[in-house]
Amino acid sequence: MSSTSPGASQAAALDAPSRTFLADVWRRFRATPGALVGAVIVLAIVLTAVLAPVLATHDPLAQDVALGATPPSALHVFGTDKLGRDLFARVAFGARISIRIGFVAVGLAITVGTAIGVIAGYGGRRADAALMAAMDLMLAFPSIILAIGITTILGPSITNLMLAVGIVYVPQYARLARSSVLAVKEHEYVEAARAIGAPTAAILARHVLPNILTPLLVQATLGIATAELEAAGLSYLGLGARPPAPEWGAMLNDARDYWLGAPWALIVPGVSITVLVLGFNLLGDGLRDALDPKTR
């Protein structure tokens, strides 16, 4: 008969909740068909972006003006645009730009927004009132109008596009982080840390931030989809990527002048944007349901 020491039993008991939580999240996530579809879509687009040099048989910037806009064929799977550029190659390489825009813009927004929200929620009434007033002022402007204003001031480029989209969505993450901090800081473990004289920075790093990350990460997943739409809209208006960069919004702008004669030049980047946004929306919804404690 085998025996187990008390120390080993206690260690196993301590490890069980974390494994159970992760297993429970995965079980709920994979039980949602939409979430799995979203994960597959996002993974497929990411792999396309990473493997673009291998998958694309043509240079995305190479022009063949004599060829012009030709419909999809065995040589050009998605057809070509008015300058004879292969649309499949441009979409594949454009996935790199679009994904980078989404992740960088949302990364900026969640970083700055979380910092503002934590200071507002934990720093007292004066800091809360001042910072939230600034966030409310930004929210008073339609996001696309504010983004247009920022890119107009900074100038059209992919870098400025990511910066503009990131700034526009800072208030959303700031308000979400603030509300989460206000709830967490009233818990007993935070009050206990304050009672023993723990530094504010240590309390925030060890007790507050780990407990507010889940809603922020879920919102970030959903926010990437919205950021992609904003970025595509700005590029369509000529305020984002500059020609000949194969960015999907810029490709829409380029195809609008001849879409009646070559509708594939408009459909291909339009469908690419739609599929990417759909994938992140489904993935975000699945993560939200899997991590929601009310459904466990």
Q: Which tokens in the block code for residue 238?
A: 């000529």
pLDDT at 14 over 50: no
275-295 residue pLDDT tens = 999 999 999 888 888 876 555
**Matching residue, tokens 């899997």:** 290
Angstrom distance (rounded) from CA 166 to CA 154:
14
The mean pLDDT of 103-112, rounded to a whole number, is 94
Domain residue ranges of the chain, discontinuous segments joined by +: 44-295
**Alpha helix (H) ranges present in 169-263?**
170-184, 188-195, 200-203, 209-236, 248-255
80 strand-pairing partners: 86
Identify the three-state secondary structure at position 4: coil
What is the rounded CA–CA span in Å between residue 27 and residue 215?
A: 19
Nearest of 113, 151, 111, 154 to residue 233 by alpha carbon: 151
Q: What is the pLDDT of residues 214-263, one digit of tens each?
A: 889 888 988 998 898 888 889 888 888 888 889 999 999 899 888 889 99
Residue 124 identity (one-letter amino acid): G
Q: Look at the domain 44-295 and name its fold.
A: MetI-like fold (1.10.3720)
